[in-house]
Amino acid sequence: MHHNGLRTAVLLGGLSALIVAAGAWLGGGTGAQFAFVLALVSNGVAYFFSDRIALSAMRARPVSEVEQPTLYRIVRELSTEARQPMPRLYISPTVQPNAFATGRSPRRAAVCVTYGLTKLLDEAELRGVIGHELSHVYNRDILISSVAGALATMITWLSYVAVFFGGSDDDEGPGFLGALLMMLLGPIAATMVQMAITRTREFQADEAGARLTGDPLALASALRKIEMGARRLPLPENSRLTSASHMMIANPFSGSGLARLFSTHPPTSERVARLERMAGYRR
């Protein structure tokens, strides 16, 4: 976990430097200063408000133990088993089955499940999903993902702003074609950053969650059901949901075209195969 945290810190530091460099390329010294301030603000917002942003994107609300006694029992049992504080629990009215965890530390964490998830999975499968999300919390993945998402959003924003600074014919700016190229490549670069961080961490959370629950096959079954449900009921790819999508246990979008090519989630079939190997399952 320490090694992964160090690698991610280096990645995020390098990405912040790229944002400042892009600002300098687009606007000289003034652009660099502006980009530096924006990078600091972005990190600050991601650190202190990432949970509220993600929960708001999914229209989630706090859920009581009276409403979801099974969910509370599962989370309480797994938190106790891991000797960690119990996170806040939320439910989203979304009919697509999905789940995510957010928050900057185990003591400030929140786990959100969708209404569709609670109706689709049995108790063992729900336990597997909760174990996966709690593992993200305990491995400090959520803060890293939040900051990465904020910085990736910054790259996208800068790529569009580049058009307004790139129309000059002098030699001081990137020129219109350079700015247009940045506008096209910026969103792809942003997604690549999220993908590089998320894919490995999903495998790690699958393994850690399966060890926490002691039932890899239940999580494997849940992942199959969630993928089929997400395909039938894909979420709209608006900016708010896109910023939170990399936190979810499965890709919430349709996954066609470039969306599939630059998916922030590893293939479900590969995740299931790894879990089956953990359980010693042979086809």
- Contact 150/42 with Cβ under 8 angstroms? yes
Q: Where are the beta strands (DSSP E) in the chain?
A: 61-62, 88-92, 99-102, 110-114
Active site residue 202: no
C-alpha torsion sign, points 120, 124, 130, 136: negative
Amino acid (1-letter code) at residue 208: A
Q: Which residues contact 84 (CB under 8 A, 6 or more apart)?
A: 106, 134, 137, 138
Q: Where are the beta strands (DSSP E) in 68-192?
A: 88-92, 99-102, 110-114
Helix axes 123-138, 175-213, angle to 10 degrees: 120
- Contact 42/152 with Cβ under 8 angstroms? no
| Catalytic residue chosen out of the listed positions 125, 133, 202, 207 | 133
> Which letter does DSSP use for residue 87 in this model?
P
Cα(210)–Cα(198) distance, rounded to whole angstroms? Answer: 18
Residues annotated catalytic, as ranges: 133
